[in-house]
Amino acid sequence: MFVITDGKRNDIGTTMEAYATAHIGTTVVDGEEIDAFGADALTVNGYLGTDGIKPLAKICAEKDKGIFVLVKTSNPSSGELQDMKLETNETVYEHMGKMCENWGEKLMGKYGYSAVGAVVGATYPEQLKEMREKLSRTFFLVPGYGAQGGGAEDVKNAFDKNGMGAIINSSRGIMCAWKSQGLCEEDFAKAARNEAIRMRDEILGAIGKISL
C-alpha cells in the first residue's frame, strides 16, 4: 500500500533535514535502521523556496520516496494568495507548479513522472485541467473529492491520456460512509469499502476506463 503523510511540512536547513528524515527517510537506533513513519510520500509547503525542498529531494533520490507540493489547494480561501498575478502575468499557483517541474527534473521515474508531485484541488476543476496541461511530468494529489464537493467530472482532467498521473483523495467521504449509508458504527469497514468501490467506478467511468 502506498502511504502518504499529509503533514504539509516545510522549513530550512537542519530543521528541514530532520523533518525529511523523520517522514520519508530512515534513522539508525541501536544499530537498526528505522523507518519512523513508514510513509512513501509527504505533502509539503513550498513557499520557502528551494531551500525547503532540497533536503526532501535528496532523500527522495536515495530512498525512492516522493513529495507533493501545495500548488492550488482545495480550500475556499486558497485564491487569496494562490490566484494572485505576478509580474510575469502568471498566477502564484502557476509559478509554484513550474517550480515543481524544475525540482523534479532529476528525479524522474520510469513512467514519465517525477518524485516531486503537486497538490491540486478537485474544487477548482478549470485550474486542475490547466495544471495537467502545463505540468506534463508532475504527478497530482487531488483533494476535495466527496465531502468538499468535488466529483468525478471535476477530477477527470487530473489524469493524462493513459488514465495515469493522479491520486484522488477522499477522507471524510470514506471514513464517515457508514453515516451516509444509514449503517451502524460496527459496519464502518463495510461502508468504507462500498464507498471506495463506488468512488473508483465513478472516476473510471468519467475518464473512460472500464471498471475492474
Enzyme catalytic residues: 8
Give the three-state DSSP class for 194: helix
Question: Would you call 105 exposed, middle or buried from its count of C-beta atoms within 10 A (0-12, 13-18, 19+)?
Answer: exposed
Give the three-state DSSP class for 70: strand
Beta strands 32-34 and 27-29: pairing type?
antiparallel
Calpha distance 114→65 (Å, rounded): 10
Q: At 95, which amino acid appears?
A: H
Calpha distance 139→202 (Å, rounded): 21
* Whether the Cβ atoms of residue 34 and residue 16 lie closer than 8 Å to each other: no
In degrees to the nearest 10, what's the CA dihedral of 134, 118, 53, 137? -50
Q: What count of residues does the chain have?
A: 212
Print burial letters for 116-128: b (CB count within 10 Å at least 16), e (below 16). bbbbbbbbbbebb
Helix axes 50-63, 92-103, angle to 10 degrees: 40
